Copies of this chain bind each other. A is one copy, B any other.
């Protein structure tokens, strides 16, 4: 049996509340993925646990045969363009049998304008 994992990667903060919010977010995402992602976890680039390699490892321990890394970043700065891909490439070398891919950061998602419009429309003016 193959399981797909989604790993939400955020920067990580010195404020533990920020990190907790990201972890709570993954719990809300899981039931919305129509059964496609049985495993949904969070990991952090720095400042918080688990770091990305450990997050990938946890997914694999949970039985994942593929891991989709979703960068929870708005801008395509160095973290998105270089740091995350480099860390994921290393993990891919460590786990050659697992399909690990990084998708675009959320700021580049085609759904973003619609998402922002929804937020604004849902507020009382």
Contacts and interface: CB of A to CB of B under 8 A. Distances in A.
Interface of A: 4, 6, 8, 10, 13, 15, 17-18, 21, 25, 28-29, 32-34, 36-37, 66, 68, 70, 72-77, 99, 103, 106-107, 109-123, 125
B25 A116 contact: yes
Contact of A37 (B4, B76, B120): B120
Contact of A116 (B70, B75, B119, B120): B70
A121 B29 contact: no
Given A29-B117, A70-B116, A77-B15, A123 B103 contact: yes
Number of copies: 2
Contacts of A34: 121
- Judged by DSSP, the binding face of A is mixed
Given A4-B125, A103-B123, A113 B32 contact: yes
